[in-house]
Structure 1
Amino acid sequence: MNIKKFYQNHLRKKLFNKILAIYSSIIIITLIASSITVYKYYEQTITRQHVDANREVLDYVSLYMNQQYEGIQLAIQQIYSDASVSEDLSYFLQHDYGDYLKYRLDQFAEIGSFVPHTFDTYFKTYLNQKSGISDVILYSTEKEFYYLYKNNTRQLYKRDIDISEQKSPIPKNGWVSHEKKLLLKEIREDNNNLYTMTRELKDPISLKTIGMLIIDFDAELISKWLGTKGTENNGQVLVLTPSGDVIYDSLGRYMGQQYPHIAGLYSDNWTALDGLSKVNLNTTNSSGLIVAGIIQKSQVNKEMVVVRNWIIGITAALIVAAMSITYGIILRFSKKVKIIVKSMKRLQEGDLSTRIHLNREDELQLIANNFNYMCERLELYINKVYISEITQKNAELVALQSQINPHFLYNTLEAIRMRAISQGAKDVGQMIYILSTLFRTMIKKSMVVTIADEIEYCNLYLELFQIRHKDKLQIESRISPVAMNCSIVKLLIQPVIENYIVHGFRPERSDNLIRIEVTESDGSIQIAIRDNGNGIIPSKLTELQKTLQVSMRMDAPPSSLGLCNVNERIKLYYGIEYGLSIASEIGVGTTVIMNIPVVRESIK
């Protein structure tokens, strides 16, 4: 499938598919990287185990070769430290065998007894006591003969015997491999596992070289010495001379040969020998030999097959499990998102009753809660606007009805007033005149008036009651001149005064007082209406104060022109930070304070 087409169809517009793809990629990369790290760790661990096991084998081989070398050194020292043995050996190597026998007989005749301390008895004892020694050869450089100790037998060989492929010179001191036996090759060819140590012999008095001590060792005894440690799992062990000749190979590949990869033995890293290999090297032994341990990479890889299969299996299982869990979680969130999208489409189609119901407490639940709250508020707002429109229509209808031929009402009131004056009822005429003026003010279309007009209207209203209750109501006004021209919503003060006339005025008393104070400070106007009326009982006052503190009701139109109506109109027009506050005491009176902003604008 085309990658671009796959992206267009499955990833571009599908967020959760993107998240699943990205998260799965991260998981797969992380697990593969972790698997490689674990594999490398186990590979290093197994390699280290092989290296340590091989190094232990090297230590055993080095110990064995050191013991052989030190044993030869000790034998040479014992020969030179025993005067009779060294003198006997020196005479033997510098004379013919017949002369040596005559020399022995002369010694016997002179001393009168057989002399036990001879080189012959020493080497027979040495050969029997030392394990790993196959045979011992004494070579005379002057007389050119060989004296062989082998299997409790002794044999003398002359140089002029027919021995093919014999080479010279013989190394004075050192190790020699099987393939490079330099003398008596056909006599010693029955054992291909031999390696040889040569030591120069000198006359103890003149220090002249008189011969050579040649000792053959059996390499099979090295394997027996190692025992189970010499298995192939512990790597290949090579013992080489400084020139590179192999005198021991635990695998038998290069026994007696020149090792072809001698330079690679000195590498600290993996190097190409018979295959990719790692080398342990021991060159600090006293024998002067090179003891090398070789660990094949193929052997490590063979053991890593099981580990690799386990790592691959576990990694694959973890990838499947992680992707399954991730898919399950993404699918669950995807279902929630689909529910939210479906609800949004229903809302878009106009269904305000739709709600999202999710169970878990997460970000999607928060979105669902906010969506539900938005629907509730939207439904409430639409209802409020709908009711407000109905109220406005009713108000307009009432206004239209109230404007039907208003001159008829004015003319009628004027006719009644003139009749009252003609009958001598001047106070009735005055009251009708005031009422007519109030009606004219009320039916004006302007909703905003100046504070001066509002106070004048209230004074006319109070004047009606002064006429009715003659000498029983006193009116005081204290109006700040700077506030007189400020604007105010019409009929805000009059309902408060009316509330006093209805509930607080006491007709039986002659000291009823109402005081209107208007002050301006800090960008707001305070209008205080104080009276000395009946007051409000505490329970009703508390209820009224709580009602005034709550924001105006949005689900219903005002039901009266009382204090609550005034408070709601102030908040509606000026904002919720403005409104009424009330304080009252039974028998003392009531104070209502109205707080509105300072607004200076032209009034139409």
Structure 2
Amino acid sequence: MFDYKNVSDIKSQTFALSDTITRQFSRTFELYVQDIEKLSVSIIGDSIIQNSLIDHYHSHDPVEQNEIELTINNRLFTHLQSRSQLQSIYLFTLDHNAYFVSKASGPKVSFHLEDEIWYPRTAEIMTNKFVLLPVCEENTGGDRREKVISFVRNINRIPYRDTLAYMKININVNVINDMLVMSDANEFERSMRVLIVTDQGDIVYDDKDELTGNTHSGLGKSAFQKSPHSGELTWMGQRYLYTIEHSDYTKWNTVILTPKDFLLSKQKKSQYILALAGLLATVLIAFVSYLLSHQITIPLRNLMKKMTRVEQGDFSQYMSVTGNHEISRLSRIYNNMLDSISRLINEVYESKLAEKNAQLSALQAQINPHFLYNTLNIMKSISRVRGIEEVAEMSESLAELFQYSMKNLQHPVPLQEELNHIENYMNIQHHRFGSRFELHVSVPEHLLHASVLKLTIQPLIENAIIHGLGNMKSGGRIDLRAIQNGSSFVIEVSDNGKGMDKEQLEGLRSALQHAAHSSRRIQDQPYGIGLSNIRERIRLFYGAEYGMELESSQGGGTIVRITLPFRDHDSWNKEEGSDEYISGGG
């Protein structure tokens, strides 16, 4: 099982590494061919070459033909000499003539278009812009011959697009060696064989320089049909792992072969390492067992006994600590644990006492609000009996306002209830301030049942009266509006009071943004901590996407907007499993 897993891991690593190299090498070769295509475009677009080719067809004078040949060859040489990897450039005319320049020395020979092996493929050249021809040999002078790859395309007359000639650029195959960067220090890469192969099996390039130029190598499309990107194959009597990358641009395949014998050698090394590791582990286990039996087991048994007594409730079972070895460190941790347990027991006991005292205090404190609420109702009744209607109205509004405030703040209510609470508050303020200001409410009927947190709107009205309209003797106006916006709705409270300047507004916004760490800064702002309280309640109950916005200008009033999720209170209340909220009044 281990051998299988080991071989599988090595195969996975080999495929991953060779796949990366295959794709990188294929892309590098594509970029180089693209550069050659750009060179061919610059030759086609050379006006001197264009005009010379046209003159070639119109001239029959040998002297003029020699001048044309000299002109074309000079232009071709200009393009050739700047690229060391190019071997030669040919221009084949349609009337059995050829112009060429080559880096090889030697006499010029005649060439004919019909003699070229690619001549039957001219229709393919017209369709695909160019074709790449596998390796052939070119005479470079004397007995020297260089292996080259040919880039062939047609030359169109500009701007008429009719064919003037065909171009062949021969590229020295050794240029591919510079594209392949392999590390000799890497055992994987040393075992790999990199090939560029046509679909027919012709080997364009072999990094070992043994098969470059070979035809019908057995590596055509049929060799890779079972697994198009990676797998195993038998080639030249040997088993290989392969990865292949086909280039739609060059129409060639980049193949990396790794001998399967390499995996077997890696497996044998792993077996040797495993055997050695097993032997060392056996010796180490024997040594550790000796230490455990004589130096660790006894202190651990002692610790287990003490822990058993601690489990029974005896927290005085401390371990003696000597030295700085692992058992001593464990003993210190154990002693610290006992201290922590004792401390937590005391804290829990004190917390229970504090909680009990707080419950008693809460019950005692509840007497005073009930007493005050009942007193206000008595004042209302007496005032009505004696005909003091204003006192009766104020007592009734204050009693209802107080009763509303006694309910649980953490529960939402219908917007209608919050508006009723605001109406009671405004009744009291009108008795206090008279007609110095007015409240205008604009709320669509369908929003009256929207769910809102209690006491989120009335403090905004109070802030507008105290801070916005406090110095106005008459003409004060407060507008309360509610607008639905998709799945949320906005409540806006605006006044026409004195407003705030830019510095005050930015200070208040910043303080609200960092309310958790800047309570003193909020208290210094004109609007106090009420806005911070509302903003934090909304954020904690509904989430960070809901909250509060402020707008104000000096002498132009203030606008406060709060955004809440739109929920029908009755439907939401049933979903939460609570048909009514607990009232604090009595």
State the structure with more CA Rg: 1
Q: Which has the higher contact order (CA 8 A, sep 6+)?
A: 1
